[in-house]
Amino acid sequence: MDVSLGMPTVRGAADGDSPDAAARLRARSAAATRAHLDDRAGDAPTAPGLHDRFGRRGTDLRISLTDKCNLRCTYCMPAEGMDWMPQSSLLTADEVVRLVDIAVTVHGVRDLRLTGGEPLIRPDLEDIVAGVRAHHPDLPIALTTNGIGLTRRAQTLADAGLTRINVSLDTIDPDTYRTLARRDRLSDVLDGIDAALAAGLHPVKLNAVLMRGVNDDQAPDLLAFALARGVRLRFIEQMPLDGDHGWTREGMVTAAEVRARLAQHWDLAPDQAPRDGAPAELWRITSRTTPPRDLGTVGVIASVTEPFCSACTRTRITAEGRVRSCLFSHEEFDLAAALRSGESDESVARLWQQAMWLKPAAHGMDAPGLDSEDYVQPERSMSAIGG
Ligand code: SAM
Ligand code: SF4
């Protein structure tokens, strides 16, 4: 796959390439990345840390493990026609472990989330978690998953050292699930949530995206389900990162609408705990019973209408081992080529630091505004970036 993404175009290794050809292509990509970053970010500070030009620091690492998925959620992937990353380009378990090690020991990264595509598709997911855990006994390791296959793997993942889990669940109605995810798998997901709870992966969080005219009336049902199961629900505003390029501002269900729908059934008040750069704004939920009961919290992630870019602590690595400093970036920088060309940890750490120095101010641009005229949707959809 050729990916220019603002970088000089260097053909990446493809599955049919001979080992020699693949090595040559990797070396060229590593050299091009270094030259490009030296040119544009040679002035990035060398003191440890993934700092950017706007005073933010990347301490929260998200690594995508694959661009493939067994669902086709309408807000994320097209029904068909995805151009998959070559298998040989995906980071191996050892490479993921090495990158996490560099991030934590050199740059002071404090949190790791494994995502995708669907990370449970990787048969070596337990090896990845165990490998990271062996080096970093106290690092929180989280997983974002659609929950399919979790029934069989929640316990092995917990045993390998996984700390917590987010399961995506947009509806508890089987027909709506089939419409949204384009697959009939709701019961697998619900069983997976139970398995995660049984494996002690606390807190289990649910991620829900509401789509107008599809599941926007189901917010209270989802919250009632989450409260009954003892899991924490977070609603995420739909972002223009869908493979179909069908997002519209009018079609998007806003955080304010979500709160208004929930407020028809419960009393909501802002949670007083410090937000600490977390994307979700938390609301305390109180029942309308006598006496009223505190039922916990619900999160609302308002990436579009109430952006939090100025407090962003994210650094992202795609499944092919490229740094993406922002979800909405138009550029990626190839760390895997450096890893595979025999470069030292120090050298890889410096590339990462330079790539993060170029992190845009907001939403891949100079100013926030996913609904502004200046916003250009990235070439990659959410599943290929790593959500
Ligand atoms: N397959 C896994 C899953 O669904 O949880 C992990 C990858 S998925 C890309 C990560 C998260 O991104 C999910 O919670 C999903 O709901 C969310 N997501 C995907 N596309 C989105 C979009 N266009 N806007 C907002 N959230 C989105
Ligand atoms: Fe797959 Fe997750 Fe995207 Fe749904 S949101 S299509 S489960 S990657």
pLDDT tens, N- to C-terminus, the chain (387 residues): 334 444 544 556 677 778 788 888 888 989 999 999 999 999 999 999 999 999 999 999 999 999 999 999 999 999 998 889 999 999 999 999 999 999 999 999 999 999 999 999 999 999 999 999 999 999 999 999 999 999 999 999 999 999 999 999 999 999 999 999 999 999 999 999 999 999 999 899 999 999 999 999 999 999 999 999 999 999 999 998 888 888 888 889 999 999 999 999 999 999 988 777 788 899 999 999 999 999 999 999 998 888 888 999 999 999 999 999 998 888 999 999 999 999 999 999 999 999 999 999 887 777 667 777 777 777 788 888 887
Is residue 312 a known part of a binding site? yes
170 lines ligand 2 (CB under 6 A): no
73 lines ligand 2 (CB under 6 A): yes
69 lines ligand 1 (CB under 6 A): yes
Query: Which structure tokens are listed for 15?
Result: 């599955």
CA dist., res. 303 & res. 182, Å (int) = 25
Q: Enumerate helices (H) and strands (E) in the chain, giving the number of each.
A: 11, 12
Residue 101 CA to ligand 1 center (angstroms) comes to: 26
Query: Which structure tokens are listed for 272?
Result: 């007083």
Q: Which ligand is nearest to the CA of 209?
A: 1
Choose which residue among 145, 168, 241 to substitute to test ligand 1 binding: the one with the highest number of ligand atoms within 8 A of its C-beta.
168
**Residue 64: enclosing H or E segment and its boundaries?**
strand 60-64
Q: Which atom of ligand 1 is nearest to the CA of 240?
A: 23
Q: Which ligand is nearest to the CA of 68?
A: 2
**Contact status, residue 232 vs residue 197, Cβ threshold 8 Å:** no
Pure H helices in 230-313: 255-262
**Contact status, residue 335 vs residue 351, Cβ threshold 8 Å:** yes
CA dist., res. 302 & res. 368, Å (int) = 12
243 lines ligand 2 (CB under 6 A): no
Query: Which structure tokens are listed for 246?
Result: 């069908």
CA dist., res. 68 & res. 222, Å (int) = 27
75 lines ligand 1 (CB under 6 A): yes
Give the residue, by CA position, lying nearest to ligand 1 atom 20: 76
**Contact status, residue 245 vs residue 74, Cβ threshold 8 Å:** no
168 lines ligand 2 (CB under 6 A): yes
CA dist., res. 314 & res. 356, Å (int) = 10
Q: Which atom of ligand 2 is nearest to the CA of 383?
A: 8
pTM for this predicted structure: 0.94
Residue written as token pair 């939090």: 308
71 torsion bin: left (phi>0), alpha (psi -120 to 50), beta (else): beta
* CATH number of the structural domain 48-258+308-385: 3.20.20.70
Choose which residue among 118, 236, 245 to substitute to test ligand 1 binding: the one with the highest number of ligand atoms within 8 A of its C-beta.
236
**Contact status, residue 103 vs residue 115, Cβ threshold 8 Å:** no
CA dist., res. 205 & res. 200, Å (int) = 13
Q: How many CB atoms lie within 10 A of CB 197?
A: 17
CA dist., res. 20 & res. 240, Å (int) = 40
242 lines ligand 1 (CB under 6 A): yes
Choose which residue among 167, 206, 207 to substitute to test ligand 1 binding: the one with the highest number of ligand atoms within 8 A of its C-beta.
207
Is residue 133 a known part of a binding site? no
278 residue type, one letter: A
Is residue 375 a known part of a binding site? no
